[in-house]
Amino acid sequence: MPEEILVQVLLRPSQWIEKSLAQTELGRWADTSLFSPDATVVFSYLSRRGMFS
């Protein structure tokens, strides 16, 4: 883990194809040893825009 924890981190999952999680930005910020080497990770995003219109 890095010594400085940033408020926001830019993740680029499209660049993670064919890489283990430990080789990605996520591997710098989280303990990826809990995932199996062939794990599939799915990210989703829910925008708050339009929720209260």
pLDDT one-digit tens code per residue, 33-50: 888 888 877 877 776 665
CA angle 14–18–47, rounded 5-degree value: 25
Task: Report the number of distinct structural domains present in the chain.
Answer: 1
The per-residue pLDDT for 13 is 79
CA angle 23–27–31, rounded 5-degree value: 135
| Domain carrying residue 6 | 1-53
pLDDT per position as a tens digit, 12-29 = 878 888 888 888 888 887
User: Above 70 in pLDDT, residue 4?
Assistant: yes
pLDDT band of 52, cuts 50, 70, 90:
low
As a whole-number percent, the residues of the chain with pLDDT over 90 amount to: 0
Distances 34 to 12, 20, 38, 46 between C-alpha atoms, Å: 21, 12, 12, 25
